[in-house]
Amino acid sequence: MPSYTRFTNCNLIDNGQVYENTDLYINNSTNKICHPPANSSDITRTIDIHGNFISPGFLDIQNNGIYGLSFSALNAKSTPEDIAHFDRFYKDAMTKYLSTGVTATCPTLPSTFPETYKKVLPFYKKSRTSTQTDSLGAHIEGPFISAEKKGCHPVETFVDAKEGESKLYDIYGGEANLVDNVCILTAAPEIPGVLDLIPIIKSKNIVFSLGHTMADYKTAVKAVDNGATMVTHLYNAMPQPHHRDAGVVGLINSPEVGDEKTPYFGLIVDGVHVDPSMVNLAYRSNPDKCVLVTDAMHLIGLPDGTYKWDDQFIVKTGDRLYLKGTKTLAGASTTLPHCVRNLMKWSKASLAEAVKTVTNNAAVSIGVEHQRGFLNVGCDADLVVLNKAGFVQKVYKLGREIKSSDIEDFSANEGKIMAVL
């Protein structure tokens, strides 16, 4: 017998718009969004949203770790016991992350060694679960990047691509390990051999993103011509735009590239990595290509303090993470819903416009728009219930209700959080 769930007394957010007083239906067999059933008696569950908003689940396409777990924690010395522990830790952390409203993410690895890629990438094969944040495939950031824009990446891992396609597979643990488990590859196009690899990477259904680069504008345009479709954490780890040399930043609104080929760009809207005025400049330049990302480190969700990270130490103070003794940023610790609220405040974006950057835009940027990121019929029933201020009230993962941690943060820190609205 067919069975359906009906969400009622709700306003739907999709395509940057609000569809007021519109019911949403889920097929309980497939856990996908569906048309209203022909027979109302087949509706076995009705959920009253009490005038709040339903959006697609949030997608975080750049995230280095969560709740104490670094997504690149394994290495050549990892034992079977270490791998089993990592597996348990990963599942627990992804379960906790779901409560923030992020229903899928690209676990991100900074530059590392082949042994690490070989061991850890299989964990990030695309998933579809009802109990935790899914993987969309890994985002591998490096090691084909510029030493001048290394950020906190270890330079001893950096390589060039002079050997071509074979080098790609040598670094990432083989062709299958790359193709089966990776969604986004960030590299610097000026590194020898990288420009020629872009069409190959694209042919493998992997997004090529420009990042950690010293590329000038002409080289950046060439990368787009070769198939690059994204820019990693705009402004960060790249030359800053000059009015006579726009650099990589110039791609987001380039008459030479044109609207159709303009790359999507990740933007860290935490108030630390990018000044609010520059957030506004980028977002307003091309809101349809803007994708908010957390660039979170594993310290997100942990108390302030100094933490060991491989052979380095990171100091966490609130949302700020720096390599100890330096002014080098070491990722972020701001949740994605918080970034959405920041965009609403700084760019005067509506709730629907801000949500589009972490749902529709994010989904299209990596080619999953037919499965996730929209409220279209056939998309997974991964949903977020929001109030008008952008706080997550509930999460539904494949139709299964998950308690929100965002609303808990609000009730515990009401005065502090109201300051960002």
CATH number of the domain bearing residue 271: 3.20.20.140
Decide if 351 contacts 345 (C-beta within 8 A).
no
How many separate domains does the chain show? 2
Which range of residues forms the domain containing residue 115?
58-365
Name which residue leads in pLDDT, 70 or 178. 178
Name the pTM for this structure.
0.92
Which two structure tokens, joined as six digits, stand for 74?
């394994």
Q: Are 409 and 357 within one domain? A: no
For residue range 392-421, what is the model confidence (pLDDT) as tens digits? Answer: 999 999 999 999 999 744 444 433 433 332
Name which residue leads in pLDDT, 88 or 154. 88
Residue 310: pLDDT band (50, 70, 90) is: low
Q: Are 337 and 259 within one domain? A: yes
Q: Are 265 and 351 within one domain? A: yes
CATH for 30: 2.30.40.10
Q: Is 295 a catalytic residue?
A: yes
User: Nearest to residue 241, comparing CAs of 280, 266, 278, 188?
Assistant: 278
**What is the distance between the alpha carbons of residues 124 and 142, in angstroms, rounded to a whole number?**
17
Q: Are 152 and 225 within one domain? A: yes
Give pLDDT, residue 114: 96
Of these residues, 14, 60, 270, 295, which one is catalytic? 295
Residue 169: pLDDT band (50, 70, 90) is: very high
Q: Are 360 and 387 within one domain? A: no
Task: Report the relative pairing of strands 134-135 and 138-141 from DSSP bridges.
Answer: unpaired
Which two structure tokens, joined as six digits, stand for 38?
């022909």
For residue 79, give Cα distances in angstroms to 64, 85, 86, 202, 421. 22, 10, 10, 34, 47
Percentage of the residues of the chain whose pLDDT score is greater than 90: 80
